């Protein structure tokens, strides 16, 4: 699918939050997040494994606690290095990883299944967007 695009400089990936960007998997546009993992970074699709319409980063950085990503809707905790849910309703599930690498102090998307589209959240026409996990 032609990837290997620079996402962001390593210095611009927050230490205690996430960097949100958009990718295309050939069928749909999706959101992904970069997370610091020690001296490196990991990259995950931006959704909770409990209910996949719930985003971890809602546009202003994901919540982190003790080095783990936190789903604000369900209280699930995800290890930043492995993506494993260590606590919550989806305990044992694993976030979907995208391949990235650091070269010359920049982070590049190298996953052949995704194309980098740009920074920030997906644009939607839904003015009634809610962060609630209650469906009507």
Domains of the chain: 5-118 (2.102.10.10)
> In sequence order, what are the residues at sequence separation of 6 or more whose Cβ sits closer than 8 angstroms to the Cβ of residue 21?
7, 8, 31, 32, 33, 34, 116, 117, 118, 119, 120
- Per DSSP bridges, beta strands 85-87 and 100-103 are unpaired
pTM exceeds 0.95, yes or no: no
Alpha-carbon distance of 85 to 88, in angstroms, equals 7
String of DSSP letters for 10-74:
GGGS-SSSEEEEEEE-SS-EEEEEEEEETTEEEEEESS-SSSTTS-S--SS--EEETTEEE-TTT
Closest CA to 34 of 128, 112, 110, 85: 110
> In sequence order, what are the residues at sequence separation of 6 or more whose Cβ sits closer than 8 angstroms to the Cβ of residue 39?
none
Which pLDDT value is given to residue 134? 38
> In sequence order, what are the residues at sequence separation of 6 or more whose Cβ sits closer than 8 angstroms to the Cβ of residue 136?
none
pLDDT tops 50 at residue 129: no
The pLDDT tens digits of the residues spanning 7-41 come to: 999 999 999 999 999 999 999 999 999 999 888 99
The pLDDT tens digits of the residues spanning 50-85 come to: 887 899 999 999 999 998 999 998 899 999 999 999
Count of Cβ atoms closer than 10 Å to residue 21 Cβ: 24
């Amino acid at each position: 699918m032609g990837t290997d695009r620079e996402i962001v400089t390593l210095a611009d990936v927050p230490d205690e939050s996430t960097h949100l960007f958009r990718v295309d998997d050939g069928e749909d546009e999706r959101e992904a997040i970069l997370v610091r993992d020690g001296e490196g970074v990991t990259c995950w699709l931006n959704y909770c494994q409990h209910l996949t319409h719930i985003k971890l980063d809602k546009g202003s950085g994901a919540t982190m606690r003790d080095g783990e990503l936190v789903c604000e809707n369900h209280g699930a905790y995800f290890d930043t290095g492995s993506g494993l849910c260590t606590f919550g309703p989806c305990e044992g599930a694993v976030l979907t990883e995208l391949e990235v690498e650091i070269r010359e102090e920049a982070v590049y998307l190298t996953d052949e299944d995704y194309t980098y589209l740009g920074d920030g959240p997906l644009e939607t026409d839904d003015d009634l967007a809610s962060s609630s996990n209650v469906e009507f």
